């Protein structure tokens, strides 16, 4: 049976709005990621899957026993809490999306530094790859190959600090989980608002430095309160989960999906101008409209209104880009819903 929530008001009493009560059933598996209500899942946010080197690395003066797992832990900067196992080969650190430890900081070079396992000396060694702004180890500039030991702190860019640590499997899994909880929405497994705030600042810095485009979509589910009031909050949660899953499947690997709040989602599009983002938003809108949403034995039509805005050098803060897309989404709703509107300066 197909139901339209916009015409189904009045069946049952109104319940509190979703913003006041969100239950968390099984999260939607993320279909992509890179590399943001807080939240669960792991693989793409924390650990690379390269084999961990088993080695006797330890503080030479501590007399510590050989350790099982050597990792880098992000203590400060982008991605606090992330863990990167060090393998028996080379670990590249930098801003490029193809390195092993990506640091989204405009003062970090694309290939900034490297950590290599020296089998002969049985240790990890750090080298700066002629970066523009240098690499610090324990407060000193790394001018040549530096032999690392557990506890050493590597600083690069504006504020990123990585610490060489050893952890067992239980500790690693716990740290992964905590990092994921800090970055993800528990219901939809999209990134959360906190992550967006951090990522947007970095993406704007990247766009300014490389003079490339950056666009943002704000998606708002049409008549969402009616869905909650008519079918209950569990039905509303199911709609949010299924929508997030469809969005994940239909955006690029480099795009960032965020649950901004309630029934609002954001898609951040690197290296995409407003015209391109409007086309992409139109495809997402059509995908949502075309396929019914399953609610137990019921199928329901759901639509979204989308506002699109592009970053402009005249914008003084990241919030201005979000506000511009939000204003465009509001106009899309006012114009009849289930449509895409682009931000027009001055409106």
**CB of 95 closer than 8 Å to CB of 270:** no
Residue keyed to tokens 């801003």: 95
CA-CA distances (angstroms) from residue 30 to 27, 127, 157, 251?
9, 35, 30, 12
Q: How far apart are CA 257 and CA 267, in angstroms?
A: 5
Q: How far apart are CA 214 and CA 212, in angstroms?
A: 7
| Per annotation, catalytic residue among 203, 263, 299, 320 | 263
For residues 124-160, one letter each, b for 16 or more C-beta atoms within 10 angstroms of the residue's C-beta and e for the rest, the string is: bebbbeebeebbebeeeebeeebebbbebebbbbbeb
For residues 72-85, one letter each, b for 16 or more C-beta atoms within 10 angstroms of the residue's C-beta and e for the rest, the string is: bbbeebbbebbbbb
Catalytic-residue membership of 44: no
User: Which residues are catalytically annotated?
Assistant: 263
């Amino acid at each position: 049976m197909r139901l339209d929530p916009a015409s189904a008001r009045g069946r049952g009493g109104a319940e509190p709005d979703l913003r006041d009560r969100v239950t968390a059933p099984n999260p939607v598996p993320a279909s992509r990621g890179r590399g943001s209500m807080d939240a669960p899942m792991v693989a793409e946010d924390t650990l690379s899957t390269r084999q961990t080197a088993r080695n006797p690395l330890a503080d030479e003066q501590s007399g510590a026993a050989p350790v099982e797992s050597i990792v880098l832990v992000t203590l400060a900067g982008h991605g606090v809490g992330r863990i990167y196992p060090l393998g028996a080969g080379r670990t590249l650190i930098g801003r490029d999306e193809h390195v092993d430890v990506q640091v989204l900081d405009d003062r970090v070079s694309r290939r900034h530094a490297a950590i290599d396992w020296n089998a002969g000396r049985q240790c990890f060694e750090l080298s700066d790859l002629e970066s523009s702004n240098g690499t610090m180890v324990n407060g000193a500039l790394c001018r040549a190959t530096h032999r690392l030991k557990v506890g050493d702190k590597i600083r690069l860019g504006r504020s990123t600090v990585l610490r060489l640590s050893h952890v067992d499997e239980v500790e690693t899994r716990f740290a992964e989980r905590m990092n994921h909880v800090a970055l993800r929405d528990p219901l939809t497994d999209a990134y959360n608002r906190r992550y967006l705030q951090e990522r947007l600042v970095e993406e704007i810095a990247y766009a300014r430095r490389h003079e490339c485009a950056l666009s943002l979509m704000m998606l708002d589910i049409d008549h969402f309160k009616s869905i909650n009031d008519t079918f209950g909050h569990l039905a509303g949660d199911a709609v949010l989960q299924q929508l997030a899953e469809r969005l994940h499947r239909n955006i690029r690997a480099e795009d960032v999906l965020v649950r901004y709040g309630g029934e609002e989602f954001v898609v951040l599009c690197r290296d995409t101008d407003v015209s391109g983002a409007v086309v992409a938003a139109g495809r997402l809108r059509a995908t949502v409209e075309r396929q019914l949403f399953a609610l137990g034995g019921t199928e329901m039509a759901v639509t979204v209104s989308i506002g699109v805005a592009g970053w402009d050098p005249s914008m003084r803060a990241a919030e201005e880009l979000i506000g511009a897309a939000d204003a465009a989404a509001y106009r899309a709703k006012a114009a009849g819903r289930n449509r895409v509107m682009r931000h027009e300066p001055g409106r």
